[in-house]
Amino acid sequence: MPHQSSVYRSQKEAQFSSNGLSVDKNLLLKKRFRLTVQIGAGAFGKVYEAIDVYSGKKFAVKMESRDSNKTSVLSIELSVLRKLRAAGASKSHVPSYLCCGTTESYHYIVMKLLGPDISWLRKRMPEKKFSLATVLRAGMAMSECLETLHTQGYVHRDVKPSNFAMDRFSDQLYIFDFGITRRYVDSMGFPLPERKSVGFRGTARYASLSAHDGRDMGPRDDYWSFLFMLIDLYAGELPWTSLGDRDVIGSAKRTAIEDGSLVEGLPDCFGLLLKYISSLGFGDCVEHRLVRRILSEQLDLAGVAPGTPYDWECGPSINSPAHSRAPSRHGSSNDLVAVRPNTVLSQSASTRVGSLEPAALACSQSAASFGSPITSAHPSSGSLGTPDQGACVTDDDIAVIDAQVPQGRVVSSYTVSPANSRDDIRGGSRWCHLIKTLVSGIFLECQNIAPL
């Protein structure tokens, strides 16, 4: 079987060539990074594979058009990546970035090149789903990714399979795409006040009920998406997979959660996760170790050996996940949606992050009292095994951002926004000029200090 890297790269090159999207191979970023092939596109812009003409190493380049009338999603991601790197998080489950800058037409970030994402690997399976062993082990690694992010005081707000990817040369799993990530604690580590109306954030298929209701999201909401994602990877679908309208999807989720049909016929671990996540409030800190313990104990009950290969390591001809709770439903996709312009995402993505300790103060609930009927133990392994794999920082499920403007103040990486700010940031030339100035400052500063 050909390497995942060559298969992935050839498929993506063919996909974007057929769409008429070409690569300017004469463009040399920082006088050393040459674009080779487009490997992704989303609401923010485009993703390319690039090669360092001096070292021959490959990187990923995310590019976004310069537009003073729109909020720069890439600048928000850059701010989050900077602070995660400063806190050391980029050494674990967050891809590092090397440098950033601007051209006449684009802002860009040069980042670590990752392997195929979980969504792409799942679609390579004959039945478009994974075995229980692979879902549980991948789930433990994904929980570690979320713990890395939450510990630094951030919530991702768009947890889904296409935002997790493997390292190209190791068994490391990464979480990426921080364009709508938001800080949920203040500079002292205490939870920010819950906002009652912020608009929809995320991807309809995996979004939490809070997202559907337009309410503020905290760590628990990342884990609602986490639960929906694991069920989808295991069962091959969700009860609302065939639905296209976002409001109808939200109603279907509420019904499935309340009547228990969401986890009906599934292994016990899914019901336990549902019970635990349902017990969390907005400002509560998730007990990540408890989540991983539930998954690892289910692995032990299933008799999965520690060295069992993952489904994508076996290849399509070997993988045969014999599980299904209902006939497959094939409906229209609800994931491809457009980002509306003139939307300010969050004032808090630019707030500086401290050490690990402050965010831990946000914990207001312990899961010690949460009972688990699973009593056996299994070594918890948070990383995934994989062969040499191809380049992927793409996202074929585009997140949606409502045009409703949240409360807060747009700030640069040098300014901390007050937690209780209520400034209105709707339209107006003054704010457009301010946004343009701040975004330009972020990328210009990055050009001057970019480590290579």
CA distance 34 to 225: 36
Residue type present at position 216: D
Give dist(CA 241, CA 328) in Å, integer.
10
Query: C-alpha distances in angstroms, 147 versus 85, 292, 355?
Result: 15, 11, 14
Are the C-beta atoms of residues 143 and 291 closer than 8 Å to each other?
Answer: yes
User: What is the rounded average pLDDT for all residues in the chain?
Assistant: 75
Kindly report which listed range (273-287, 292-306, 409-423) carries the lowest average pLDDT score. 409-423
Asked whether residue 260 carries a pLDDT value surpassing 80, the answer given is: yes
Of 105, 79, 43, 72, which is closest to residue 436 (Cα–Cα)? 72
**Global pTM?**
0.72
Mean pLDDT along residues 356-372: 46
| Res 241 pLDDT > 60 | yes
62 labelled binding-site residue: yes
Would you call 245 a catalytic residue per the annotation? Answer: no
Residue 110, pLDDT score? 96
Range of weakest confidence among 23-32, 102-111, 239-248, 273-282: 23-32
111 within 8 A of 154, measured Cβ to Cβ: no
Q: Is the Cβ–Cβ distance between 277 and 223 less than 8 Å? A: yes
Binned at pLDDT 50, 70 and 90, residue 430 comes out as: low
Specify the pLDDT at position 388: 34
> Which of 158, 167, 216, 311 is the catalytic position?
158
**Stronger pLDDT, 416 or 304, i.e. the higher one:** 304
Instruction: Name the range with the highest mean pLDDT among 56-70, 160-174, 260-274.
Output: 260-274
3-state helix, strand, coil in the chain (%, to 5): 35, 10, 55
Top-level class of domain 118-360: mainly alpha
CA angle 141, 13, 120 (to 5 degrees): 25
CA distance 436 to 75: 11
Provide, rounded to the nearest whole percent, the portion of the chain with pLDDT above 70: 63
* All structural domains of the chain with their residue ranges: 4-114+422-449, 118-360
Segment 130-171, tens digit of pLDDT? 999 999 999 999 999 999 999 999 999 999 999 999 999 888
Fold of 4-114+422-449: Phosphorylase Kinase; domain 1 (3.30.200)
- What would the DSSP string read from start to end of 45-111? -EEEEEEETTT--EEEEEEEE--TTS--HHHHHHHHHHHHHHTTGGGTTS--EEEEEE-SSEEEEEE
Residue 156 contacts residue 222 (beta carbons within 8 Å)? yes
Segment among 83-92, 339-348, 375-384 with least mean pLDDT: 339-348
